[in-house]
Structure 1
């Protein structure tokens, strides 16, 4: 499908483009939100705002048109949900910074009505994911988030091996100093891994430890060259100095027309769960599988009620949903979740067992 790249200029938003390309999608435009003129950075819950001086060069390196808007809203709704759940009240919240994204992508669609997807470099932030999905739903767009919930150590290694050249343009985490500004991911990898071991810092900077600017990427037609920069210290402390790189001069260097890169595509499921994926269950509902010496187990067909089955130490309960007889009634998300968990407790395999963790996978229609 044709898609627009939601760009911050950082490593994540640019690396996600490689996965979009690998999956056959066509990039037609880039979009970015920035602080108002005169402000180099704002404290946004949703957007990376540092490095906006160079975002135009990222779009030019990709040779796609860039659509920009100013961030005028604030983080009004800071909860785990955003907007309404039903079609009648599916709009956003007036004055929230999420609506700036809606207006930006609406503008892109008006110029490119054939755009169907949005590339987003989200890795860990549910706050970001929920709001991007809400905006995409309202605009009938598909979010393309290939980095979501990836292991950060693996992800950083893959970025470096794929030929991504990104430098640190902001530091704000323990163990990082202004001396690290301008260093590449490859140069910083040992330090980032060490800080993760010592303090639990996020290797990919998902806790705000650092921000990056991509200078080169296999999809770039040009390489970005910084000709003049200035280090700006925002706050200096013994715990974690906050500093960023002000981009004052930039040029582009033409690259050879050769788009090739080594991209590792992670498996959708681990081996143990591949045999109980939806395609297998629907086409081989009555078959039996053996994995890694575990006992054989039947794969049941779908039914109207919840079902449970076990595989070694794993227990799966499927098809848990709100009763269809009540589907037209008003029910809050909290009450609906509570009802689903009551159904879980009703299954004997859950009610009389003790488990260390529970993972919930909502359906696509949830």
Structure 2
């Protein structure tokens, strides 16, 4: 199966890519949709311009398509992007990190079906608490890049989350009623290391910005790739 992996740079799309490689799929490329609007219904916005460093660390070609970010119109952008990578890379499947959003999964499936592409969503309806813990134990490291809900401390923004931080996030989700894996838009992440990364990402500089009472964003200003130290 030759596939394209929808890639936002966050934990879910990175894990879905990891799953595809472990399953023996031929991942021809990463497809990143870059929205013009922060409130896109379909696509990840914060720090998406830095995904090119993740693609380099992975050693997988990346295709970036701009999208209006406007509901419904961005679906046409997605269809055009699928058509483009199908033609260029000869793919017959799409891998997504969809976890809980019925809207996102349904729209991707409908568009892919129109183009005779199969869709694989390995995270769909997984236990989100177990998933977060598994991410850490399997070597995924990521920073929190946005918050849009009560209960998440802004001190976690821009920090490579430890297992203790993840447990804090899970506890807050249970207390305040938000999705622990942040699938409902309560937060966004940016992966700095993963098992498939040939190099790890080091964020050199960033800025925390407050948008309103419960909304914050972490803007990456600079980063670099660093060789991974092999432990014998």
TM-score normalised by the chain length of structure 2: 0.93
In the alignment, which of 220, 226, 230 is matched to residue 253 of structure 1? 226
**Matched residues, number:** 230
Quote the residue 1:105 is aligned against. 82
Displacement of 1:207: 1.9
In the alignment, which of 88, 92, 98 is matched to residue 122 of structure 1? 98
The 5 A counterparts of 1:168-183 are: 168-183=144-159
Find the aligned partners of 2:82 and 2:204 in 1 and give their Cα distance: 32
Structure 1 residue runs without a partner (length 5+): 77-95, 259-366
Find the aligned partners of 1:180 and 1:222 in 2 and give their Cα distance: 24
The 3 A distance-change label for structure 1 pair 187 and 107 is: farther
TM-score normalised by the chain length of structure 1: 0.60
Displacement of 1:255: 3.4
The 3 A distance-change label for structure 1 pair 129 and 257 is: farther
Displacement of 1:256: 6.7
Matched, 1:198 2:194: no
The 5 A counterparts of 1:60-139 are: 60-72=56-68, 74-76=70-72, 96-113=73-90, 115-139=91-115
Find the aligned partners of 1:127 and 1:141 in 2 and give their Cα distance: 18
Q: Is the 8 A contact 1:19 1:146 kept in 2?
A: yes
Quote the residue 2:206 is aligned against. 229
SS at match of 2:84: helix
Higher RCO (Cα < 8 Å, 6 or more apart) = 2
Displacement of 1:203: 0.8
Displacement of 1:195: 1.3
Displacement of 1:73: 5.2
Displacement of 1:232: 1.7
Quote the residue 1:32 is aligned against. 32
SS at match of 2:77: helix
Structure 2 residue runs without a partner (length 5+): none
- Kindly provide the CA deviation profile for residues 232-256 of structure 1, in whole angstroms up to 9, marking residues without a partner as x: 2222x2xx2x111111111112337
Displacement of 1:257: 8.8
In the alignment, which of 24, 33, 51 is matched to residue 55 of structure 1? 51
The 3 A distance-change label for structure 1 pair 21 and 130 is: same
Q: Is the 8 A contact 1:117 1:144 kept in 2?
A: yes
Quote the residue 1:147 is aligned against. 123
Find the aligned partners of 2:129 and 2:154 in 1 and give their Cα distance: 23
Greater C-alpha radius of gyration: 1
SS at match of 2:220: strand
Quote the residue 1:215 is aligned against. 192
- Kindly provide the CA deviation profile for residues 198-255 of structure 1, in whole angstroms up to 9, marking residues without a partner as x: 12221100122111000011011121111111112222x2xx2x11111111111233
Quick check: which one's strand share is greater?
A: 2
SS at match of 1:48: coil
Q: Is the 8 A contact 2:146 2:189 kept in 1?
A: yes
Find the aligned partners of 1:190 and 1:216 in 2 and give their Cα distance: 19
Runs of 4+ with deviation above 4 angstroms: none
